[in-house]
Structures are given as C-alpha cells and as structure tokens.
Amino acid sequence: MSNSPSTHNRPRVWLITGCTSGFGKLFVSAIVARGDKIIATARNVSALDEFKDTPNVRLLNLDVTATQGELDARATTALELFGGVDVLVNNAGYVLSGAWEELTHEQVLHQFHTNFFGQMNVTRAFLPHMRHRSSGTIIFMSSIAGWLGVAAGGPYSASKFALEGAAESLQKELSPLGIQVHLAVLGQFRTNILAEGRRQVPRPTPAIDAYDTVIETLARRQEETNGKQPGDPVRAVEWILDVVRDEGSVAGKEVGLRIVLGSDAQKIIRDQCLNTLRDLDQFDEFSRSTDFPGAGRVDAYS
C-alpha cells in the first residue's frame, strides 16, 4: 500500500501500548472519532473496561517488558483482530528520577526495560508484518528529556536519549522499505505521568545528604508541575493523528523524523542547538586539531 492520494485516507488500524492513562487513553477515543480502528493494549486491560463495547476498538493485554517470544505471540494475536496493523505507537513509559550514585543498577534497568528495551522488543515483533506489506508507521513518544539532562533526571533522560538515537537509525533502515518512523518529542503535557504513585524518586537508606538539595528540588518541581503542565495532551494526540493520516494543517507536507510538540519543547530544543553551536564555534580549531595531519575526510556518516 502506498501513500498515494487515493489510498491515504483509508481507515487505518492502530496498536498502542500503555492505554490505561494519559496519551494512550486519549488516543483510543481520538482514533475512533476519525473512523480508524484501534487495538488498545495495557498490562491489564480490565482498566480499559469503558471501551470494551466500543465499535472499532479491541483490547489486548500487553506488557512491554514481556519476553520477545511472548511479544511475538501477542503480535500474531493482534494482527488477526482486524487483519493487520498499520500504525504502532510505542507509548508505555514512566519517570524514574534520582541521583546516579544513589540509584541501583536494578532500578535503572527497570526504567530502561519499560522505556527503551520494551519499545525495541514490541517494535521488533511488528516489523516482519510491516516489512512484508512494505507499509506502516511507527511512532515513539519521546521527550524534551531526550534532549536535555537535568540534575536527578538521569535515568528517564538516558532512556529517552537512547530512544532518540535508536529511532533515528531505525528511520534510515525502514524508509527504503516504505515504513515511516516518527519521534514525537513532547514538552510537559497534562497527563498522569507525574501523579503521586506513578512518578518514582527512590532513595536508599541512609540517603547521601550531599544529594538532598538536587533531589528535593526535582521532587518539588515534579509535584508542583503535576496537573499544571502547559501541554494539552488532547491537542498533541490530534496533531499526531494529522501527521499519520496526512490531514489537517500538515496535509500534503513532508513530516520529518521528529514531531516537536509544546512551546517548552520548542524552546528547550532550540536552546540546546544554539548552545551546541556556540560550544562548537568556541572550540573550532581545538576540535579539528586531533586529525592526522593531511588526513582526508571519510564520509562514514550522512
């Protein structure tokens, strides 16, 4: 199937991870309202009871941290529900915060299992299907945390930086095969992500008091931000639907890898680019001076 004008508005089948809350839940109603179909997944779909009789919605248990074998089996089941999957949204995720020295390997690994390896495994489970059909769209929910690290924000940032890099490579692997990849780079949006009980800022006993200030500052900021984020998740979801369905203000436009959403995201990414350029300019000579004298350029990367 191609993106030619005659087929681009055909109904699409979406599969979304982490639909019990926030963006995931909002996607369900928005997708149905556009006339598309959705396989709404969650670790436990009993939390999605409200959608169980909604036409064009199917519910499927899917924990993104399951083994590849289990996820492959889930994918087989999913593909039978509507006869295929056109759009995969890797949405499940959570925020782990804390100081590098205080967090354990297991805590950081759990963050990566959900936010990074889980997304890789789920995507791997659906790629054979999209590759055989030479079509499909894969969306990753990235973050300004994937552009900027803040004190005590390392684990979440690391998982989103990893996602940014892996998805950028994936796009280049899949674009010749007719499969689209997008990173939705989101600012702060009003979902449950920072709600008490969801956000995690674990500390060891005894804690290292040298980190009290940075951790308390971050924890306070998260608490104050919860429920007051500037981003409207309904608008973000509609925008992502416009991109995938080639509708609304983006209709007919070529949308690149990154879909930046939120004025805060705009500013942080712009500042990060400007600061990087300033650093590059300042150390221009110095940075170049490690080449072998007379070495030519090798265009290994483009």
Ligand X SMILES: *[C@@H]1O[C@H](CO)[C@@H](O)[C@H](O)[C@H]1NC(C)=O
Q: Report the catalytic residues.
A: 142, 156, 160
First to last CA, the chain: 29
Interface positions, 14-33, toward ligand NAP (CB under 6 A): 17-24
Q: Binding string, 7-46, against ligand X, x = CB under 6 A?
A: -------------------------------------x-x
Q: How far apart are CA 137 and CA 120, in angstroms?
A: 15
For residue 42, state whether it binds ligand NAP (rule: CB under 6 A).
yes
Closest contact distance (angstroms) between CB of 64 and ligand NAP is: 4
Cβ at position 219, least distance to ligand NAP in Å = 16
Binding mask 47-86 for ligand X (x = CB under 6 A): ------------------x-xxx-----------------
Cα 161 to chain center, whole Å? 10
Q: How many residues bind ligand X (CB under 6 A)?
A: 10
Stretch that binds ligand X, among 30-38, 97-105, 117-125, 169-177 (CB under 6 A): 117-125
Q: Does 118 interact with ligand X (rule: CB under 6 A)?
A: yes
Residues 161-220 that bind ligand NAP (CB under 6 A): 186, 188-189, 191-193, 198
Is the separation of the CB atoms in 299 and 178 below 8 Å? no
Say whether residue 82 binds ligand NAP (CB under 6 A): no
Q: What is the DSSP letter of 292?
A: P
B/e letters for 136-151, b = 16+ CB within 10 Å, e = fewer, are bbbbbbbbbbbbbeee
DSSP letters for 271-286: HHHHHHHHHHHHTHHH
Of the candidate residues 94, 117, 211, 239, the single one contacting ligand X (CB under 6 A): 117
Residue type, 14: W
CB–CB of 268/187 below 8 Å? yes
Each residue 179-208 as x (binds ligand X by CB under 6 A) or -, in order, gives ------------------------------
Nearer to ligand X, 50 or 224 (CB): 50
Q: Which two tokens stand for residue 237?
A: 């979801």
Cβ atoms within 10 Å, residue 302: 4
Judged by CB under 6 A, the chain residues 84 through 143 that form the site for ligand NAP are 91-94, 114, 118, 141, 143
- According to CB under 6 A, which residues from 43 to 62 bind ligand NAP? 43
Cis preceding linkage at 204, omega within 30: no
Q: Is the dihedral of CA 166, 172, 177, 179 positive or negative?
A: positive
Contact indicator for 247, 31 with CB cutoff of 8 Å: no
Share of the chain residues as helix, strand and coil, in percent rounded to the nearest 5: 50, 15, 35
Output 17 or 135, the one with its CB closest to ligand NAP: 17
Any idea what the Cα angle at residue 278 is, between residues 277 and 280, rounded to 5°?
A: 60
> What's the DSSP call for residue 177?
G
Using CB under 6 A, list all residues that contact ligand X: 44, 46, 65, 67-69, 113, 117-118, 121
**Site residues for ligand NAP per CB under 6 A:** 17-24, 42-43, 63-65, 91-94, 114, 118, 141, 143, 186, 188-189, 191-193, 198, 229
